[in-house]
Amino acid sequence: MEVKKIKTREIAAQELPALFDAAGLTYQTVGCVNWSTYPYRPEVKFRLAHTDEAVLLHFKVTEQSVRAKYGEDNGAVWTDSCVEFFSIPAGDGIYYNIECNCIGTVLVGAGPVRNGREHAPQSVTALIDRWASLGRIPFEERLGETEWEVALVIPYAVFFKHQLSTLDGSEVKANFYKCGDELQTPHFLSWNPIPIENPDFHRPDFFGTLSFE
């Protein structure tokens, strides 16, 4: 996947959808149902770009129920209506999981494997500017088809185990996910396929490739 570089002034998350529209960025689909035990496939798509200062990410989702129980960063957002971006930005095997529920609450972790991951401190997660179409107030599960969007501006400092200043010209291994572990209909979707027996997003061996302009 090619990741366009956008030359822009400092950008706010709420401006991303319009900025991406103006730049003609197309959506990628998060549609791989890897595990037949969880067949539900909500509509999930994303767009990605980068600037001199940050990675820009916009998700759009339509699903049959939504939940946003967690309002504090580094909570169990994967149990809510959640979208995720996993990546290895420095090519050294350390991958980051950036997970975001439908009200923009994030979890950021880093490490080489699933176990023993280090969560980013609050001073780091606070650097992520977020916009959520459903607002920022937590709520219990709402049944009924709902469309929602989140946009994130992720400064390079959020990759807190490294000293990244740019991704220009880089090839980055990554995957994108949609889950909702505790929703009425649990589901686990990925952008790049994960051909294993049981749900597990912490599989950098199945990441796809992002080519940053």
Q: What is the pLDDT along the chain (213 residues), one digit of tens a residue?
A: 999 999 987 899 999 999 999 999 999 999 999 999 999 999 999 999 999 999 999 999 999 999 999 999 999 999 999 999 999 999 899 999 999 999 999 999 999 999 999 999 999 999 999 999 999 999 999 999 999 999 999 999 999 999 999 999 999 999 999 999 999 999 999 999 999 999 999 999 999 999 999
> What is the residue extent of each domain of the chain?
13-191
Residue 142 one-letter amino acid:
R
Residue among 212, 205, 213, 211 nearest 95 (CA): 205
Q: Would you state the pLDDT for residue 164?
A: 96
Q: What is the pLDDT of residue 91?
A: 85
Q: Give the per-residue SS3 of 109-140.
A: EEECCCCCCEECCHHHHCCCEEEECCCCCCEE
Q: What is the pTM of this model?
A: 0.97
**In this structure, are strands 106-111 and 95-101 parallel, antiparallel, or unpaired?**
antiparallel
Class of domain 13-191: mainly beta
d(CA 144, CA 188): 19
Question: Burial level of 105, CB count in 10 A (0-12/13-18/19+)?
Answer: buried
Residue 106 CB contacts under 8 Å (≥ 6 apart), including other chains: 73, 74, 77, 98, 99, 100, 125, 128, 130, 152
Separation of alpha carbons 93 and 112, rounded Å: 6
Q: How many CB atoms lie within 10 A of CB 126?
A: 12
Task: Give just the sign of the alpha carbon dihedral 67, 69, 73, 75.
Answer: negative
pLDDT of residue 89: 97
Helix (H, G, I), strand (E, B) or coil at 149: strand
The Cα–Cα gap between 9 and 26 comes to: 22
